[in-house]
Chain A
Amino acid sequence: MAVERFPVEATHIMMFARSVADPNPIYSDAEYAATTEVGRIIAPPTFAQASAQFDPDYVLRPKSGEVWFGSGKEPTGIKRDASGGSGGGGNGGGLHAEQHFEYHRHLTPGDVLTATNLPGKAWEKEGKRGGKLMFSEFITEYRDQNGELVITARGVGVRTGQVVES
Chain B
Amino acid sequence: MSLSQKNLKVGDTHSELVIDDLSRTQLVMYAGTSGDYNPLHSDDLYATKVAGYPGVFAHGMLSMGMTAKMLTNYVGDGRLTKYGVRFVRQVWPGDSLTATATVTALREEGGQHFVDLDVATVNQSGEPVITGYAAARIDP
Chain A residues positioned under 8 Å from B35 (CB to CB): 50-53, 55, 58, 60-61
Scan A108-134; emit 1 where CB is below 8 A from any B CB, else 0.
Answer: 000000000000000000000000000
- How far is B91's CA from A3's CA once the two chains are assembled, in angstroms? 29
Contact B40 A92 (CB under 8 A): yes
Encoded as 1 (CB less than 8 Å from any A CB) or 0, chain B from 37 to 76 comes to 1111011011011111000000111101110110111001
Q: B82 touches which one: A18, A70, A88, A102 (CB < 8 A)? A: A102
- CB pair A12–B61 under 8 Å, yes or no, is no
In the complex formed, the residue of B with least CB distance to A20 is B65
Chain B, residue nearest A102 (CB): B82
A residues less than 8 Å from B2 (CB atoms): 37
B127 CB–A CB distance under 8 Å? no
Contacts of A37 in B (CB 8 A): 2, 76-78
Contacts of A21 in B (CB 8 A): 18-19, 26, 66, 69
Is A49 an interface residue, CB under 8 A from the partner? yes
Q: Known contacts A22-B69, A37-B76; is A15 also within 8 Å of B86 by CB?
A: no
Is B30 an interface residue, CB under 8 A from the partner?
yes
B7: interface (CB < 8 Å): no
In whole angstroms, what is the CA distance A16 to B29 when docked? 8
Size of B's binding interface in residues, CB under 8 A = 47
The reply to whether the CB of A82 lies closer than 8 angstroms to some CB of chain B is: no
In angstroms, Cα B2 to Cα A49, docked, is 25
Contacts A97-B87, A103-B82 known; A26 to B65 CB distance under 8 Å? no
Q: Would B77 and A42 count as touching, CB distance under 8 A?
A: yes
Q: Is the CB of B82 within 8 A of A19?
A: no
A36 in contact (CB, < 8 A) = yes
Cross-interface CB contact of A15 among B19, B26, B33, B65, cutoff 8 Å: B33
* With contact pairs A22-B66, A91-B40, A92-B39 given, residues A103 and B80 touching in the complex (Cβ less than 8 Å): yes
B contact residues vs A (CB 8 Å cutoff)? 2, 18-19, 26, 29-30, 32-40, 42-43, 45-46, 48-52, 59-62, 64-66, 68-69, 71-73, 76-78, 80-87
Given contacts A89-B50, A102-B82, A106-B80, 15 further A-B contacts (CB under 8 A): A15-B32, A18-B33, A21-B19, A22-B66, A36-B77, A37-B2, A44-B69, A44-B72, A45-B65, A52-B35, A60-B38, A71-B45, A71-B50, A96-B87, A99-B84
Q: Which 8 A/B pairs are nearest by Cβ-Cβ distance?
A: A70-B39, A20-B65, A100-B84, A52-B35, A75-B49, A53-B35, A19-B29, A38-B78
